[in-house]
Amino acid sequence: MTAPLCGARTAIAVSPHLDDAVFSAGGVLALLSRAGWLVRVVTCFTASVGDPCPFALSTQLDKGLPADVDYMALRRAEDGAAQRRLGTLPPVHLPLPEAPHRGYGGPAELFTPPRPHDTAETELRHLLRPHLVSADLVLAPQGIGGHVDHLLAARAVAALAPSSRTGWWRDVPYVARTPPYDAGFRRGTPEGAGEVTIDIGAVLADKTAAARYYTTQLGFQFGGPGEAGEVLSSVARAEALRTGAPCVYGESLRAGPAARRVLEGSARHGARR
């Protein structure tokens, strides 16, 4: 890991949930950190809820966790360990509840447009603003897959961050599922943003190792700890092939002009270390 430098530039990655940034853009985060950037992940929906509704409770029971476990506290600890492994700064966990705690009452409802009574986007803008105001680079999800929390995170970032300095990652694991998801916030990415594919071959092992710290999620998202590395490698290969990039393993983002220059330069610098 590169030691933080006085006056080093700052990158903020806005993650909807406690794993999205690492699963989707962990390679880019590792490369930025290697290149001397101060990289911090700010996760939007991380609040513990004392008396969860039946659907929210089922999201931990179906992973083998008893009802009296603070599921979100466990996930916040996983995220802290993953970020340390990746080489980023200690993460920020915003005190907003996930969609199942906000009235989205079943799996299908998670993939519907935000409801009029859902105040999360307004609250999220207020909480994110101080983190984004001085960031040299902002990274965020495109919202591929249509999960309501991903869409709200994307909309909040679009309202707050300069488009030229923002890069939008393709949401994993949704891009790996069949049929492939190719919809979401990408259609609303600000004008001037073009796709860039970053070679993450030098840091793919670091990304995979960090991802494996999310032990509560690996079975549900990838089929198990062993399969996580295979899926992440497969997605990275597919992204390089899809975009015709001159690399074997890639992460693709829609990026404004300044963000694109930063990502390409940091990737070259980070890969040489």
Q: Beta partners for 39?
A: 11
Taking the domains of the chain in order of start, what are their residue ranges?
Answer: 10-272
The predicted pLDDT at position 187 comes to 42
Q: Is 10 helix (H, G, I), strand (E, B) or coil?
A: strand
pLDDT in tens, 141-180: 999 999 999 999 999 999 999 999 999 999 999 998 855 5
| CA–CA distances in Å: residue 112 to residues 7, 108, 126, 264 | 42, 7, 23, 35
Handedness of CA 270, 89, 153, 149 (dihedral sign): positive
Query: What's the whole-number mean pLDDT along residues 176-186?
Result: 57
Domain spanning 10-272: which CATH class is it, in words? Answer: alpha beta
User: What is the average pLDDT across 132-145?
Assistant: 96
Task: Name the DSSP letter for residue 48.
Answer: -
pTM of the model: 0.93
